[in-house]
Amino acid sequence: MGRLTMRNPATGEIIGTLDEATPAEVQQVMAQARDASREWGETPVSTRIHYLRNLRHYLVENGEMLAQKISEVTGKVTLEAYMTEIFITADTIRFYEKQAERMLAPRKVATTLVLFPKRSWIHYQPMGVVAVISPWNYPFQLSVVPVLSALAAGNAVILKPSEVTPSIGLLIEELFQAVPAPKHLVQVLHGGREVGQALVAARPDKIFFTGSVATGKKIMTQAAEHLIPVELELGGKDPMIVLEDAHLERAANGAVWGAFTNAGQVCMSVERVYVHERVYPQFLQLVKEKTAALRQGFPAESELGSMTSPEQIRIVREHVQEALAKGAVAEWGGHFPENSMFLAPTILTGVTHDMKIMREETFGPVLPIMRVASEEEAIRLANDTPYGLNASVWSMDKARAKRVAQKLQSGNVCINDVVVSYANPHLPFGGVKESGIGRYRGPEGLQSFTHAVSIIHDPGKRKREINWYPYTGEQHALFVSLTKTLFGKNKKQGNLWSPRNWKGFWREWKRLY
């Protein structure tokens, strides 16, 4: 059994240690979750939502205390911890309180005329046990929101938080103890890669993973052996396109916040900026001025906190050093002290698409800016990436901005804003290409934690159906007539949807059946 060290990355203070789960414990937790899922899956949605409402009340009442603890674990400033971890979670719960019963209710759908008198509907059935494997950059919210989504849909949940921020797992355990759920409904497994592999091997009914592309591919490969459904929320290299008619002051503010919030450790960070050459000098000057005004420290009265993961610092340093060696220019920052978790915000120009800083996820406080000659060039470069999570377009021309947005290969696009698409719980969230598979949040996201069961009902009064045995020549002629009536048009006879043609078909159908 391994041990995880809990520390404050901003101060270096060691908070404590935590034992990793053993393979036997993983199997035991899965068995307990299966038992819990049966009763919870039969619980009315209204009862599930009542439980989520109690969780929201606890979050609101204890939000500042929770944000402080999250800040100590991640190194992010307290306001960011509160806004992105507590507020977003509470807002998501409120959305489910208002919408979940409607989104999970059996839904009638149309039945084609030829199947009369059958009726059709869709029933949303819980999957069973959902495994949530969460990341370290927003370790509370990106754990709790998918857990709550799975709960609302009627599933039991096993959560494996990131080993980089293990004390958040303890904090989440405390949350579900403070607002008691049915026994074993939500369980937390602490540990690293081996625990995650053991959890997948225990064969949950769905895996929801948020993290790197490399780890997501490994999970998907392992899950494929048992055809376990997998939802992957992975990385991004999100482009920002600033056209010549953009509101430059707003765009500069958006670029600085979008690149440096949470020290750039955001899957939807602004990681590439393409600026029309006509406004490039002015935009660059505004960005430099706004970056110079930022305060870095911990935990309050600052805009930038520390990095959370020491390993991520190595990646950021490698990307910046390679770009500078290939001719990029550090307009601001660019030099990172050794043995420090605080990285100064960095602005790079002279960047090209043969640099890692423009092709691989940096996940740090770095803003590369590239001059483009046209809208078409900006779109081409924005799409020149294996990722497709989020993007933004900046223009005061509504029609133009919409046109550009619809040409971007991205799961989410903001116009004259950044990152905010995730903040609307009514919108589905997810990526394309290597940024992920599936959607969560919004109606699609909640229903993705269920099996959509199609049900079709016949009154059962007739002896047989038109397509049943025995097959006859008359039956064949009837289907030919039906096909022509439904789908064809004969110029000599006119429209085959005419009442005269339908009367002939139904007369023949009644004669046979």
Which amino acids are annotated catalytic?
233, 267
For 450, list phi and psi in degrees, rounded to 5: -130, 165
Between the alpha carbon of residue 418 and those of residues 176, 415, 503, the distances in Å are 33, 8, 59
Task: Name the region of 448 (left: φ>0; alpha: ψ -120 to 50; beta: rest).
Answer: alpha
Among left, alpha and beta (phi > 0; psi -120 to 50; other), residue 419 is: left
- Dist CA 112 CA 132 (whole Å): 40
Nearest to 335 by CA among 366, 293, 368, 295: 366
Among 379, 432, 428, smallest CA distance to 407 is for: 379
Instruction: Using alpha carbons, select from 331, 335, 353 the residue that is nearest to residue 344.
Output: 335
Cα–Cα distance for residue pair 232/157, rounded to 1 Å: 17
Rounded Cα distance, 450 and 63, in Å? 30
Give the contacts of 359 (CB within 8 A, at least 6 positions apart). Answer: 237, 353, 385, 386
> Helix count (H) and strand count (E) of the chain?
16, 20
Angstrom distance (rounded) from CA 342 to CA 8: 13
Specify whether the CB–CB gap between 371 and 275 falls below 8 A. yes
Phi, psi of 241 (to 5 degrees): -110, 120
Cα diameter, the chain:
89
